[in-house]
Amino acid sequence: MGVAALRAQESLRQDRLFDDPYAQLFLDAAHPAGSPWSTGSAAGFFHAIGHQVAVRTRFLDDTLLAAVREGCDQVVLLASGMDSRPFRLAWPPGTTVFELDFADVLAFKAAVIASRTTPPAGQLARPTCRHVAVPADLREDWPQTLAEAGFDRRRPAAWLAEGILYALPPEAAALLLDRITSLSAPGSVLAMDHGEDSELLRTARVSVSPDLRDLWQGGPSEDLKPWLARRGWDPTVRDIADIARDHRRPVPPAFDPDRTDAGRGWLATARLSERR
Ligand SMILES: C[S@@+](CC[C@H](N)C(=O)[O-])C[C@H]1O[C@@H](n2cnc3c(N)ncnc32)[C@H](O)[C@@H]1O
């Protein structure tokens, strides 16, 4: 819901990097009396991460659409949360978008979307992709569940790991990447964000809720480039500060390389080599 709040805010800007009309709907449905993410305690956290969610959302939108145009006609959104990409992006005909998350998260989203795409109340367009919701726990055998939902490992896929890597301990991050790699035909694309924890970010998180103190678990055991390359992926890794500057947005304080109390943040894309 925190990510949805930031996407809703971005959608109100004149110079928005994307328009997500679903984000506010999710917030309203989850918190009819007002979202805790709209109150003062969230302000410090939102200030710390600044424009990170806006910049990453746009970057990952562009990456996924480019991958589909280049031949990946199946897209997998891992731990999709309140991501509305199946509904808001203009997918070329023939694209299938799978999204994985807990069953209750996907059921909540489906109910909100249905209320807005079904006449007479609904005004939002139906998705241009074939959308397949896959209830799954990423700690269990989700590759099997995904295959049963129709994913074809012989065809290239575009994978998204957004807002999840940093929350995994190193061994869980490695298992996730190994599973993605084993399901990926040559030419598949993987898009992700990652960021370091810092005193600044931890303090800001705890001001929202003490439960968020240990949200950061470190993620990959090494830099993203060798981590991906070791498994046959050809990665391009960019600092989020540079991408923010490209969009004329301030560098997110929590990922500002010039601050001693901050960490670094990255956005990465990788293509699986044909010669793996
Ligand atoms: C920070 S959100 C990221 C959501 C989304 N990718 C985005 O960037 O908007 C993390 C999501 O991971 C999901 N999640 C956490 N643990 C999971 C697990 N073991 N299996 C499946 N989903 C999980 C949560 O339900 C939540 O929706």
Domains of the chain: residue spans and CATH? 2-272 (3.40.50.150)
For residues 184 and 161, the answer to whether their CB atoms sit within 8 Å is: no
Mutate which of 78, 138, 165, 192 for ligand 1 pocket (most atoms within 8 A of beta carbon): 138
Mutate which of 58, 105, 164 for ligand 1 pocket (most atoms within 8 A of beta carbon): 164
**Beta-carbon count within 10 A of 105 CB:** 17
**Given this model, what pLDDT does residue 116 score?**
77
Q: Residue 138 CA: which ligand 1 atom is closest?
A: 20
Q: Which residues on neighbouring strands pair with residue 131, listed in sequence order?
A: 97
**Given this model, what pLDDT does residue 119 score?**
60
For residues 85 and 77, the answer to whether their CB atoms sit within 8 Å is: yes
Burial class (CB in 10 A: 0-12, 13-18, 19+), 269: buried
Query: Residues with beta carbon inside 6 Å of ligand 1?
Result: 3, 79-83, 101-102, 105, 137-139, 162-164
Bridge-based pairing of strands 189-195 and 265-272 is: antiparallel
Q: Residue 161 CA: which ligand 1 atom is closest?
A: 6
Residue bearing tokens 């806006």: 54
Contacting residues for 210 by C-beta, under 8 A, at least 6 apart: none
269 φ, ψ to 5°?
A: -130, 150
Is there a cis peptide before residue 92, judged by omega within 30 degrees of 0?
no
Distance (angstroms) between ligand 1 centre and the Cα of 149 equals 19
The parts of the chain modelled with pLDDT lower than 70 are 117-123, 275-276
Distance CA 24, CA 252 (A): 23
**Given this model, what pLDDT does residue 37 score?**
82
Distance (angstroms) between ligand 1 centre and the Cα of 79 equals 4
User: Three-state SS for 81?
Assistant: coil
C-alpha of 154 from chain center: 24
Q: Whose CA is nearest to atom 3 of ligand 1?
A: 163
Mutate which of 1, 49, 80, 201 for ligand 1 pocket (most atoms within 8 A of beta carbon): 80
Which runs of consecutive H residues, i.e. helices, occur in the chain?
Answer: 2-11, 21-30, 40-49, 52-69, 85-88, 103-117, 142-148, 170-182, 199-208, 224-229, 240-246
Q: Residue 137 CA: which ligand 1 atom is closest?
A: 20
Distance (angstroms) between ligand 1 centre and the Cα of 251 equals 25
